[in-house]
A and B are shown apart, each in its own frame.
Chain A
Amino acid sequence: MNTDGIGIVETQYLTCFEPPNEFKLKSGVKLGPIKIAYETYGKLNAEKTNAILIFHTLTMDAHAAGWHKDAKKPGWWDEMIGPGKAFDTNKFFIVSSNVLGSCKGSTGPASVNPQTGKPYGLSFPAVTFEDMVKCQKVLLDHLQIKKVLCAAGGSMGGTQALKWAVDYPEYVESVIAIATNTRQTAQQIALHEVGRQAIMSDPDWKGGAYYGQSIPARGLALARMLGHITYMSDQSMDEKFGRKLISKEKIGYDFTHDFEVESYLKYRGDSFVQRFDANSYLYLTKAIDYFDLADDKDLASKFKNSKARYLVISFTSDWLYPSYQSKEMVRALKANDLDVSYVEINSSYGHDAFLVEVDDQSKLISHFLNRLAKEKLG
């Protein structure tokens, strides 16, 4: 086990919205009780002003940093969160929670509906970013935090950070939005839809009522394979696999795997089905697709109440969340005269760059946060 980080951490749980005080979702449907899985790192100061919210991506969880007991690897952003790291736990109190609709400890379609005693499946209501963020706000209230020094995340995590800035402008001192967007484009929706269709056309999916039986593993693995392709770039795939053959001397002229990239995708797909729920994949990709921060209005008008400082980062080879989307965001922020820094990091890793390019991001984030800490924490 690595000892230079946070050390052993445990996921905690908050149960809220017990009936009859259920949570009213954006769709109008009521849901309760709701469990929120979360982790915290570092210490909240006496004034409760040093909190930073970290948001995870589509398939990640509350376990952003440190080690779970007996785990083989640390949290998903451990390289960035810890003592002396970009999100320095010596200075800041980090809060990371699992989103509503996921399957990683917070309430989602795989959770048991207390009214029926069975998993929700497709009777789980559709969730949106507005709903996720509202639940996170309840968690912050529970932790008695009245303001966050920073809301930060990449990809789907970045959209949550932006949603926070728009929905709770008085709560957010700064935003770090990495490899993210303010609206899903047709191409992004289309790619998700192929993944969803792969799941739903798996006979084992059974309209979402597969719990306790065989899971729609083939469909979910296919969705994940497609996902992986979109997270890499042409160059990073070619550098990693090229046309290398997999444990054979020459091409087989049959439909077994010939190329390394084929078996890599199969491996990633197969290991994914062990750790993620197919219905959650449907619900969360839909939530992302519903996302349009502007709500068909002028995007700039959405930030009119924000006073936050922004750090926006994109990556040159990210074709899933291309830089032009970050530039649109920056333009809307500048239209409101907001304090914004924007960097397009040169990287060949595609969308994955946000998890890979640790050094450059660490420099930017630590300096950005240091300046804030100096001004806001003294």
Chain B
Amino acid sequence: MTNEPKKIRLDHKVIVDLVQEKSRVLDLGCGDGELLSLLIRNKNCHGTGIEINEKAIYSCVEKGLSVSHGDIDSGLKDYSDNRFDYVILNESLQQVLHPEQVIVESLRVGKKVIVGIPNFCHINSRFQIFFQGRVPVTQELPYEWYDTPNLRFLGIKDFRKFCRSKNIRIEKERYLGQHNEVSILPNLFAHIGIFLLKRG
């Protein structure tokens, strides 16, 4: 590809870092295929994706990617057990109808699952709720309640608790601020949490 070297998003950088060379990857909610292309180019991965947005699929095909048009909730059924080394759910888990089922299914078709979630419990959001008494609308979560793709609202702690209760092992966790990784009090200071999961 001869595209201009674009600035790589921090969350993409971290996810690419978590993935082993030459892995088989399924990106659920792959959007316009930016992350998939990175994984193929930088880590020699063999990748495919599922995406609900028709126009985004065209961008993927233009990038030379193989992707399927459809929703994540039903798309996972097409794959047999352990088909992928990694199933990636970046910024998409909070938009699915049945997140628990999607995680369970992802852990079936993938040996490992990478989940990236926006942290709804960031300090900015807490301030907005506390001082303004309104549901937060922040730079990272810019949606009004009546027009948001997000169906689920969770924090870093919530996700950790979910994994514990479902006997899902968190192998690695990384926390991102606006420009850098966050190392202290992620549930308060991280905008994004990225988790590498394995069956317990």
Where the two chains meet, the residues of A that have a C-beta atom closer than 8 Å to any C-beta of B are 309, 311, 327, 330-331, 334-335, 337, 339-346, 360, 363-364, 367-368, 370-371, 374
Instruction: Kindly report which residue of chain B lies nearest to residue A309, judged by CB atoms.
Output: B66
Contacts of B62 in A (CB 8 A): 363, 367
A341 touches B70 (CB 8 A): no
A342 touches B54 (CB 8 A): no
Q: A330-B78, A331-B78, A334-B78 are in contact. Are A364 and B58 (CB under 8 A)?
A: yes
Instruction: Kindly report which residue of chain B lies nearest to residue A370, judged by CB atoms.
Output: B64
Q: Is B197 an interface residue (CB 8 A)?
A: no
Given contacts A343-B57, A343-B61, A367-B64, 8 further A-B contacts (CB under 8 A): A309-B66, A327-B70, A335-B78, A341-B65, A342-B69, A363-B58, A364-B61, A367-B62
Q: Is B79 an interface residue (CB 8 A)?
A: yes
Chain B 99-138 residues near chain A, CB threshold 8 A:
none
Q: A331-B78, A343-B54 are in contact. Are A337 and B66 (CB under 8 A)?
A: no
Where the two chains meet, the residues of B that have a C-beta atom closer than 8 Å to any C-beta of A are 48, 54, 57-58, 60-62, 64-70, 77-80, 83
Tell me the complex Cα distance, A119–B194, Å.
72
Contacts of A340 in B (CB 8 A): 66, 68
9 A-B pairs within 8 Å (CB atoms) are namely A327-B70, A330-B68, A330-B78, A335-B80, A337-B83, A342-B69, A343-B69, A344-B54, A344-B69
Q: A334-B78, A364-B58 are in contact. Are A341 and B64 (CB under 8 A)?
A: no
Contacts of B70 in A (CB 8 A): 327, 342, 344
Q: In whole Å, how far is B54's beta carbon from the nearest beta carbon of chain A?
A: 6
Q: Which of B67, B68, B77, B83 is the most central at the interface, judged by chain A CB atoms within 10 Å of its CB?
A: B68
Instruction: Kindly report which residue of chain B lies nearest to residue A338, judged by CB atoms.
Output: B66
Contacts of A311 in B (CB 8 A): 61
- 7 A-B pairs with the lowest CB-CB distances in the bound complex, closest first: A371-B64, A342-B68, A334-B78, A331-B78, A341-B66, A343-B69, A367-B61
Contacts of B77 in A (CB 8 A): 331
Q: In whole Å, how far is A91's beta carbon from the nearest beta carbon of chain B?
A: 16
Tell me the complex Cα distance, A346–B54, Å.
8
Contacts of B48 in A (CB 8 A): 339
Tell me the complex Cα distance, A327–B62, Å.
22
Q: In whole Å, how far is A336's beta carbon from the nearest beta carbon of chain B?
A: 10
Tell me the complex Cα distance, A94–B88, Å.
39
Contacts of A367 in B (CB 8 A): 61-62, 64
The residue that A360 contacts in the complex, of B58, B65, B66, with Cβ under 8 A, is: B58
Q: Which of A342, A344, A360 is the most central at the interface, judged by chain B CB atoms within 10 Å of its CB?
A: A342
Q: In whole Å, how far is A152's beta carbon from the nearest beta carbon of chain B?
A: 15
Q: A339-B66, A367-B61 are in contact. Are A345 and B80 (CB under 8 A)?
A: no
Q: A331-B78, A364-B61 are in contact. Are A345 and B66 (CB under 8 A)?
A: no
Contacts of A331 in B (CB 8 A): 77-78
Q: In whole Å, how far is A117's beta carbon from the nearest beta carbon of chain B?
A: 54
Contacts of B57 in A (CB 8 A): 341, 343
Tell me the complex Cα distance, A145–B145, Å.
60
Q: Which of B61, B77, B83 is the most central at the interface, judged by chain A CB atoms within 10 Å of its CB?
A: B61
Instruction: Kindly report which residue of chain B lies nearest to residue A345, judged by CB atoms.
Output: B54
Tell me the complex Cα distance, A346–B79, Å.
25
Tell me the complex Cα distance, A360–B54, Å.
10
Tell me the complex Cα distance, A205–B77, Å.
50
Tell me the complex Cα distance, A346–B69, Å.
11
B67 touches A341 (CB 8 A): yes
Instruction: Kindly report which residue of chain B lies nearest to residue A326, judged by CB atoms.
Output: B69
Contacts of B80 in A (CB 8 A): 335
Contacts of A337 in B (CB 8 A): 83
Q: Which of A327, A331, A343, A360 is the most central at the interface, judged by chain B CB atoms within 10 Å of its CB?
A: A343
Instruction: Kindly report which residue of chain B lies nearest to residue A371, judged by CB atoms.
Output: B64
Instruction: Kindly report which residue of chain A lies nearest to residue B83, judged by CB atoms.
Output: A337
Contacts of B68 in A (CB 8 A): 330, 334, 340-342
Q: In whole Å, how far is A332's beta carbon from the nearest beta carbon of chain B?
A: 9
Q: In whole Å, how far is A191's beta carbon from the nearest beta carbon of chain B?
A: 27
B61 touches A341 (CB 8 A): yes
Q: In whole Å, how far is B53's beta carbon from the nearest beta carbon of chain A?
A: 11
Tell me the complex Cα distance, A339–B48, Å.
8
Contacts of A371 in B (CB 8 A): 64
Contacts of B64 in A (CB 8 A): 367, 370-371, 374
